[in-house]
Amino acid sequence: MAKTGNIVTLIPSRKGSNRVPMKGMRLLGDKALIEHTIEAVKGSEFLSNTIFINSDAEEWKGLAAQHEIGFYLRKPELATSQSMIDDYLFDFMESNPDVDYLAVITPTAPFVKSEDLDSAWKAYSEGSANTLISAEPIQTHCFFKGSSLNFSTEGHLPRTQDLEPIHALNFSIAIYDCKFFKNFYKENGFAVLGGEINTFFLEGFAAIDIDEEKDFLLAEIALEYNAGKKSSAPRYSKFVNQIIEENQETRN
């Protein structure tokens, strides 16, 4: 049975980002990074009913008003570089007890579209998990602390296309059952990774997550590509002109 109830969407954006200062308000193209996310959420069929920016910065309140969405002022102690996601989500849920499901959409993923949000909600709504977290499938040879994760070192190196993908959580989209979250938090002191978790895959540009300066540069290139300012046609060295002209099959 599909989940039903009061759904609220939260867009978190604190002022004190260390790696990219005031990241949410930095311009990507002609609008602030957070505005790309606001527009995607407002275009969603399922997640656009009630939207809040969650921030410790009063300056963000003006942006919320401009876009006709709510603003929730985060407590200073929940907005430091040491603060945990679990804590500020619990604080919001406790202050808004009528919320059944909380969707948290980070403004660091500016290419997540309204359709992605709706697909995520459908996957969550139709599943049994308490929590949904977006992830990127990484299909490459992975090690952790000296041990292989998704392939055996006993034998030939497996082909990349034969590997089991690693699910790298990016938290661009997360959806929580508030009742379960609050109860789990009260018992354990954390809840983001509590209970049954379903992963939702984001791929291509939607998987771009801006954490560092180099990520912003990548996002600017992607934005130009989406605007048609960069060519998507493949180009090749002159040494393979004959292969191209004769349309020779090169895959094997």
The reported pLDDT for the residue numbered 20 is: 76
Residue ranges of domains in the chain, CATH in brackets: 7-245 (3.90.550.10)
CA distance 13 to 63: 12
* Amino acid at position 125, single letter: S
**What is the arithmetic mean of pLDDT over 72-79?**
93
Edge-to-edge order in the sheet of strand 131-138: 70-73, 51-55, 7-12, 101-105, 166-177, 131-138, 197-201
pLDDT over 90 (residue 227): no
Residues 55-68, mean pLDDT to the nearest whole number: 93
Q: Are 163 and 152 in contact (CB under 8 A)?
A: no
Distance CA 167, CA 113 (A): 20
Query: Token pair of 129, please?
Result: 């998990």
**DSSP category for residue 80:** S
Query: What is the predicted pLDDT for the residue at 23?
Result: 86
Average pLDDT of every residue of the chain: 92
Q: In this predicted model, what pLDDT tens digit does every residue of 13-37 receive, in sequence order? A: 988 777 777 888 889 999 999 999 9
pLDDT digits (tens, 9 = 90+) for 132-179: 999 999 999 999 999 999 999 999 999 999 999 999 999 999 999 999
Determine the Cα–Cα distance for residues 140 and 84; give it in Å rounded to an integer: 30
d(CA 230, CA 147): 40
Lowest mean pLDDT among 69-73, 93-97, 174-178, 231-235: 231-235
DSSP bridge pairs for 132: 175, 198
- pLDDT for 232 equals 66
Cα 12 from Cα 20, distance rounded (Å): 15
Alpha carbon 189 to its chain centroid, in Å, reads: 24
User: What is the CA angle 108-206-105, rounded to 5?
Assistant: 45
Answer for the pair 15, 81: CB distance below 8 angstroms, yes or no.
Answer: no
Looking only at the bridges linking them, the beta strands covering 31-32 and 101-105 are unpaired
Q: Is the pLDDT of residue 44 over 70?
A: yes
Structure tokens at 169: 């959580």
